[in-house]
Amino acid sequence: MLDEQLKNNDSIPRLTDQDYRRLAEFVTNNWGIKLPPAKKVMLEGRLRRRLTALKMTTYKEYCDYLFNSDNHQAEALEMIDFVSTNKTDFFRESDHFRFLQETVLPALIERHANLNLQLWSAGCSSGEEPYTLAMVIRDFQRENRSFPVRILASDISARVLQQAKMAIYKEDKIAPIPFDLRKKYLLRSKDHKNKVVRFVPEIRNMIDFARVNLMQLENYNIGSPFHIIFCRNVIIYFDRENQERLVQNFYDRLEPEGYLFMGHSEALPGLKVPFKTVAPMVYQKA
């Protein structure tokens, strides 16, 4: 009977309002992601696959399992893979990378005689952003001078971090990467039927990947201060209180005159954090 139910996901009863409120509160308290009532259908659909994997037939059964102290910590790590949104692309919001290359990096090498660049891609998803940053910085160095670079790429999802570490992408994903950068920094599979590419070691070695919960930064030794932080299209999922808390954490982890890059839908006006705007959705520590 159980096997027959699991073959058809539609046989799982709908998520009740009571169980949804329990799950939504858990998600917000642990990861800062806000889940208003309108997100109920989305959460129900995403968690249905998890119920199937656990051979469960109701969301109440899943809630009882999640909130059991013996399963709590391990299941929370599994759950976030289904809850978090991981949309990203190479050179997404490309004007930011032009501003980095044309304005920020020249300012940093002028300010620091011995620049040791520390950059953080917070909410890196499957790696497209940090690999874009690595290519842009390496290309800048070719035309200027070399300097040590450390890119910390973090995400809450262990699943997407595993993808990012592999540095392997389908050919249709690399379309936004300029052709000259593809020639320099990407290797095609020797199996012509396997339409994938991988970044060269020169680029891969610039990036350290780590699982980091942005709502619990005090629990992580991520190093600081950073010269640059990219956190784009992340805080839109947080409520106002957690947005302000996170942006203040970024401010504290930036060096004086360091830069914070946010997504184009994430303006800071109204948040009580002393950044100054230097370009659209680019802020500098005052």
Locate 245 and state its tokens: 């808390």
Sheet with 196-199, edge to edge strand ranges: 168-170, 196-199, 186-188
- Start and end residues for every CATH 1.10.155.10 domain found in the chain: 2-83
Stretch 77-91: mean pLDDT: 82
- Express each pLDDT in 191-231 by its tens digit: 777 889 999 999 999 999 999 999 888 888 888 799 999 99
- Quick one: what percent of the chain has pLDDT higher than 70? 95
| pLDDT score at 31 | 85
Stretch 146-153: mean pLDDT: 96
For 33, 220, 221, 234, the CA distances from 216, given in Å and listed in that order, are: 13, 8, 11, 15
| pLDDT score at 23 | 92
Name the DSSP class of 12. S
Cβ within 8 Å of residue 137, ≥6 positions away: 100, 105, 117, 119, 149, 151, 206
Q: Indicate if the pLDDT at residue 268 is higher than 90.
A: no
Q: How far apart are CA 234 and CA 85, in angstroms?
A: 9
Locate 199 and state its tokens: 């970044």
Locate 95 and state its tokens: 């004007």
Active-site residue (options: 22, 46, 92, 245): 46
- Express each pLDDT in 31-42 by its tens digit: 888 888 988 998
CATH topology (fold) of 95-285: Rossmann fold (3.40.50)
Active-site residue (options: 48, 50, 138, 155): 155
Cβ–Cβ < 8 Å for 279, 268:
no
- Start and end residues for every CATH 3.40.50.150 domain found in the chain: 95-285
- Quick one: what percent of the chain has pLDDT higher than 90? 55
Mean model confidence pLDDT for the chain: 88
Stretch 113-142: mean pLDDT: 96
Q: Indicate if the pLDDT at residue 272 is higher than 80.
A: no
User: Which position has the token pair 């060096």?
Assistant: 255
Locate 259 and state its tokens: 């830069």
Half-sphere exposure for 97 (CA within 13 Å, toward CB): 23
Burial bucket for residue 166 (CB in 10 Å: 0-12, 13-18, 19+)? middle
Helix/strand/coil for 255: strand
Specify the DSSP element, H or E, that contains 92: none
For 89, 90, 171, 197, 230, the CA distances from 175, given in Å and listed in that order, are: 9, 8, 7, 12, 22
Task: Note if 155 is an active site residue.
Answer: yes
Cβ–Cβ < 8 Å for 27, 20:
no
Stretch 186-195: mean pLDDT: 83
Higher pLDDT, 268 or 260: 260
| pLDDT score at 84 | 77
Name the DSSP class of 104. I
Q: Indicate if the pLDDT at residue 44 is higher than 60.
A: yes
Give the number of other Cβ atoms within 10 Å of residue 240's Cβ: 11
What's the sign of the alpha-carbon dihedral 198, 93, 159, 15?
negative
Q: Indicate if the pLDDT at residue 108 is higher than 60.
A: yes
For 2-83, which CATH class?
mainly alpha
Locate 180 and state its tokens: 């000259």
Confidence bin at 10 (pLDDT 50/70/90): low
Q: Indicate if the pLDDT at residue 144 is higher than 60.
A: yes
Q: Indicate if the pLDDT at residue 6 is higher than 60.
A: no
Confidence bin at 269 (pLDDT 50/70/90): low
Confidence bin at 175 (pLDDT 50/70/90): very high
Locate 171 and state its tokens: 């050919």
